């Protein structure tokens, strides 16, 4: 089954404790991206990757890091989480083209105390 | 001003009703347009693309007005299963795939 898998789905952590949210896709997609979703603000892009070893900042990259060592994986790293990073995070992937169809993971709900 | 603006709703309609959502975008260089659907606490999924000539998919009709920079989605004969949040999405830069999402319009279809 074609899918984007994120882990963990739910996490409560404390300020400053490094964490990684993993994302893996099995569709051989070149493009992957991370979004955060907050009430009233919609989905905002954090980082994206056009291919292996190619990553770039989205609209809200502060406080986050990513890596793309393999085509299928695109982990999101919070080196020192803060309460304003409490949010719902989505990983997404797509093949290139203008179809606009992003395939999303099920989301990771992160709470930073 | 937000790049993509939608009325947050909620729109409460009875089953069988016709409901329309509008969305406006600020960047006239926007290239492509889409509607995504997001169920409560779930991931967004592509509902349909929006073409300049307008397009229909079953009970759903999408239209684009480039001159006025707005997109619409019409749902006919609403079903309970149509209850969801509808996200207006605009593609600005093809290379970066910078999809800009509206905050969404919530629809609640009631029996």
| DSSP string over B39-102 | -TTS--EEEEEE-TT-EEETTEEEEEETTTTEEEEEE-S--GGG-EEEEEEEE--TTTT-EEE-
Average pLDDT for residues A14-20, to the nearest whole number? Answer: 96
Here the tokens at position B40 are 């409560």
CB B5 within 8 A of CB B23: yes
Q: What is the mean pLDDT of residues A49-74?
A: 95
Which residues of B are less than 8 Å from A61 in CB distance?
A: none
Q: How far is the C-alpha of A43 from the C-alpha of B47, rounded, in Å?
A: 16
pLDDT at B58: 96
* Partners of residue A5 in chain B, C-beta under 8 Å: none
Most A CBs within 10 Å, among B4, B5, B39, B43, to test the A interface: B43
Which residues of chain B make contact with A56, given a CB cutoff of 8 A?
96
User: B91, A101: Cβ pair inside 8 Å?
Assistant: no
The answer on pLDDT for B12 being more than 70 is yes
| Confidence bin at B74 (pLDDT 50/70/90) | very high
Residues 6 or more apart in contact with residue A1 via CB below 8 angstroms = none
Position B1 pLDDT exceeds 80:
no
pLDDT in tens, B88-110: 999 876 566 678 899 999 999 99
Q: What is the pLDDT of residue B29?
A: 84
B6, B100 contact by CB (below 8 A): no
Mean pLDDT value across chain B: 92
Confidence of residue A98 (pLDDT cuts 50, 70, 90): low
**Min distance A40 CA to chain B CA atoms (Å):** 6
Query: Average of pLDDT values for A24-28?
Result: 95
Dihedral of CA atoms A21, A109, B24, B62 in degrees, nearest 10, equals: 90
What is the predicted pLDDT for the residue at A2?
82
Mean per-residue pLDDT of chain A: 93
Query: From CA A59, how far away is CA A34, in angstroms rounded?
Result: 11
Nearest CA of chain B to the CA of A21: how many Å?
A: 16
Q: How far apart are CA A72 and CA A62, in angstroms?
A: 24
Rounded to an integer, what distance in angstroms lies between the CA atom of residue B57 and that of residue B99? 22
- Contact criterion met (CB < 8 Å) for A98 and B32: yes
pLDDT of amino acid B95? 62
> What pLDDT sits at residue B94?
59
């Amino acid at each position: 089954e074609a899918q984007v898998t994120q882990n963990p789905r739910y996490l409560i952590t404390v300020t400053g404790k490094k964490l990684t949210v993993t994302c893996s896709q099995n569709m051989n997609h070149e493009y992957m991206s991370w979004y955060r979703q907050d009430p009233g603000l919609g989905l905002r892009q954090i980082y994206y990757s056009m291919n292996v070893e190619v990553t770039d900042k989205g609209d809200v990259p502060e406080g986050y890091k990513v890596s793309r060592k393999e085509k299928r994986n695109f982990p999101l790293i919070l080196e020192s989480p803060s309460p304003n990073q409490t949010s719902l995070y989505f990983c997404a992937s797509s093949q290139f083209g203008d179809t606009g169809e992003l395939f999303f993971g099920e989301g990771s709900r992160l709470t930073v105390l | 001003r937000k790049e993509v603006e939608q009325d947050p709703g909620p729109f409460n309609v009875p089953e069988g009703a016709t409901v329309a959502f509008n969305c406006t975008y600020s960047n006239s260089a926007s290239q492509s347009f889409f509607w995504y659907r997001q169920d409560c606490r779930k991931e967004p999924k592509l509902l349909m693309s929006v073409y300049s000539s307008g397009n229909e998919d079953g009970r759903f009709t999408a239209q684009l007005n480039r001159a006025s920079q707005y997109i619409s989605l019409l749902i006919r004969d609403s079903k309970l299963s149509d209850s969801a949040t509808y996200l207006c999405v605009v593609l600005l830069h093809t290379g970066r795939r910078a999809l800009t999402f509206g905050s969404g319009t919530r629809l609640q279809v009631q029996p």
